[in-house]
A and B are shown apart, each in its own frame.
Chain A
Amino acid sequence: MNRRLLKDRTAGYMMFFLTISSLLLVVTMGIGLYLKASPILEEHSLWDLLSASEWKPMKNQFGFFPFLMGTLWVSGLALIIAIPISLLMAIYLTEYAHSLVRRFVYPFLDILAGLPSVIYGVWGMLLIVPWVANVAAPWVDRNTTGYTTLACGIVLGVMVIPLLVSLFIEIFSNVSHELREATFALGATRWQTTKHVVLRKTAPGIIAAIVLAASRVMGETIAAIMVCGNLAIAPGSLLDACYPIPALIANNYGEMLSMPLYESALMFAAFILFFVVLVFNLFSRLVLKKIKTE
C-alpha cells in the first residue's frame, strides 16, 4: 500500500477512535456515577430517596425531594422568563431589524453568552436579591432576605437568554429567503410571515434549542449557589429559598469524608442530574424525529 493511502487510512481510524471515545465517555460517566451511588441505593429504596424531605446526613437521613423541587422550580421559572424574551429578540433581529442594528447587537450577545456564570451570580446578588427583598417581597407582604427561588430563576433565566437568542437566530436564518418572499408576495406582513411560516418551519429546532437551554439551566451551579438561599426545603412559593441539585453537590463535596454514605448520596444527586439531562435530550430527539416525519 502506498504511503498516501496509509496516511489517509490512519487518519480516518484515529478520528473514528476519538469520536467513539467521546461517546464512551458519556457511558463510563453514567456507569461510574451509578457505581458510586449504589451504596446508598442498597440502604434506602429509590422511592424513599426521591420522596423523602429530610436531609440530615449525620442521622443517616437522605431525602432528595427538596433538591429535586428546587431544581424544577428554578429551571421552570428561568425558562418561563427566558423563552418568550429570547424568541421575541431573535424574531426582531432576524425579521425586523436593520442590518446595522444586527451588526451592533450580535457582538454584545456573544459577549453576554461568554460571560462566566460567576459574574451573573454577582450581578444577581447585587441587583436581583435586593430587589426581591425590598420590592417584590414587600409587594406581597412577605419578608425575605432576597435569596430566593425567584432571584435564582431570574438570574438563570437572564443567563440563558443569550444562548437561546443565538440558537434561535441560527435556526431562523436557516429559513430560506424564497420562503419569506413567497409569503411577502402574497401580501403578508412581517408578523404574519413570522407567525405562520418562520415559526412553523422552525418549530422542531425551537424545541431542540429549548431543551438545550433547559439542560444548561438545570446544571448551572455557581450562579445558583450565589442567589438561591441554599436551604434544604422544598420551595412552597417563589419567595422561599431553594437548593438545586448542582448547588448541593458543589457545596458539600469535600466535607463528607467522614461519612461513607454522604459521598454516595452526593454521587446519587449527580446521577439524578445526569439522568435527567440525558432523558431530556433523548426525549427532544424523539420529538424532533416525530415532527420531522409528519
Chain B
Amino acid sequence: MNLFHREKASAKDNAFVVNNKFPHPDDMRLSTHALCVSIGGNPILKHVNVDIPCNKITCIIGPSGCGKTTLLRTFNRLVDTIEGVKMTGVVMLGNQNIVAAGASELTEIRRHIGLVPQRPCPLPMSIYDNIAYGCRIHGISGRRKLDAIVEYYLRAVGLWDEVKDRLNAPANKLSGGQQQRLCLARSLAIEPSYLLADESTSALDPISSRMVEELFVKLKKDYSIVMVTHTLRQAKRIADHVIFMYLGEVIEEGDAEQVFNRPKHELTQRYLAGSFS
C-alpha cells in the first residue's frame, strides 16, 4: 500500500507540465552595457545602456531610424542575419553575454527570448504544427504532450475556440489578426522569459490590434515584454517602462508615468509634444 502510494507520487513528480517543460534559470534579467552596433561601418546603436525590468511592458519609442528595431533584434541576435553587422559591448541575459554567444548557445538564448514579428508570419504548415514546431525543434515529442501544448497556448491567445475544428488546416488560411495571435502563441509555447514585439500590431486592423494589445497586458504576469512601437498612444496605454531613443542613443529611460508626464530631457519633451517624429 505504502509502495503503491510512493510510486504514484514519483510518477507525479515526473509528470509533464504543459507550461513548464523547459528549464528556467532564476535570474533572467535582460540588460545592455555600452552596446554599440554598426552595419557596414555606420553606427546604428551608440553606447546603449538599458535595463529591462521583469514582468513589465517596456516600450521603446523614438523617431524612425533611431535604432529601436536594431536594439530589439540585438536582444535575440537576429541582427546576425544582416550583412556587415558589428557588435561590441555587452548584452546580459541572466549571467550570459548574448553578444559573445556562439551558434550553439544562440539557439538556447532564442528560446528564452521570443519574437512577435511586425507582420504576421505563419510557417508553411498547419495551425497545429505552427505551435508544435518550436517544441519539436527543442526536443519535445509525443502526440499527447504536443496536443496538450497546442491546446494550452491556443487558449492562452484566445484562438482555440476559433480554430479547434481545423487544427490541420494550413495556417495561412487564417485572418491577419488570427495569424498574429498564432505567432504569439507559437512564441509563448517555448516558454520564453522575454517577449520581443516589433510593432506587432501595426499591420493589423484596429480590433485585432486591440486584441493583441490586451493579450500583452495579460501576459506580463508571466513574461517580460519589450515592445517597439510607433504609436505614442499605444505606448501610453500599455507601457510600464519607457525607453526613448534618438539617433542610436538612449536619451531617456524610466517609469512610463514619469517619462510621459515629467520627461527630464528636452528632446523627450519635444518628441512627446509631437514637434518631430
Mark A residues whose CB is within 8 Å of B: 99, 176-189, 192, 196-197, 200-201, 294
Contacts and interface: CB of A to CB of B under 8 A. Distances in A.
Interface stretch (B24-32, B58-66, B107-115, B251-259): B107-115
Given A178-B119, A180-B81, A181-B81, A186 B187 contact: yes
Interface of B: 76, 78, 81, 83, 103, 106-111, 114-115, 117, 119, 121, 123-125, 133-134, 137-138, 170, 183, 186-187, 190
Nearest to A196: B133
23 contacts: A178-B117, A181-B121, A182-B121, A183-B123, A184-B78, A185-B76, A185-B114, A185-B115, A186-B110, A186-B187, A186-B190, A187-B106, A187-B109, A187-B134, A187-B190, A189-B103, A189-B107, A189-B137, A196-B123, A196-B137, A197-B124, A200-B124, A294-B170
Nearest to A197: B123
A189 to B, nearest CB: 6
Contact of B124 (A99, A187, A201): A201
B124 A181 contact: no
Contacts, number: 69
Given A99-B83, A177-B81, A181-B78, A186 B134 contact: yes
Contacts of B78: 181, 184-185
A197 B172 CA distance: 14
Given A185-B76, A187-B190, A192 B121 contact: no
A185 B189 CA distance: 13
Nearest to B122: A182
A192 B103 CA distance: 14
Nearest to A202: B124
A184 B110 contact: yes
A187 B110 contact: yes
Contact of A187 (B117, B138, B170): B138
B81 A179 contact: no
Nearest to A183: B123
Main secondary structure of the interface of A (DSSP, over half): helix
Contact of B111 (A180, A183, A186): A186
- With most chain B CB atoms within 10 A of its CB, the pick from A184, A185, A196 is A185
Nearest to B82: A177
Contacts of B117: 178, 181-182, 185
Contacts of A181: 78, 81, 115, 117, 121
A187 B107 contact: yes
A256 to B, nearest CB: 53
A182 B121 CA distance: 7
A154 B81 CA distance: 37
B133 A186 contact: yes
A182 B108 CA distance: 15
B171 to A, nearest CB: 11
Contacts of A99: 83
Given A186-B134, A186-B187, 7 more contacts: A181-B78, A187-B107, A187-B111, A187-B138, A187-B190, A189-B137, A201-B124
Nearest to B136: A196
Nearest to A185: B115
Contacts of A187: 106-111, 134, 137-138, 190
Contacts of B114: 185-186
A182 B138 CA distance: 15
Contacts of B187: 185-186
Nearest to B78: A181
Contacts of A185: 76, 78, 110, 114-115, 117, 187
A192 B137 contact: yes
Nearest to A190: B103
Contacts of A177: 81
A186 B81 contact: no
A260 B76 CA distance: 75
Nearest to B115: A185
A180 B78 CA distance: 10
Contacts of A196: 123, 125, 133, 137
B255 to A, nearest CB: 29
A179 B124 contact: yes
A189 B119 CA distance: 22
A201 B183 CA distance: 17
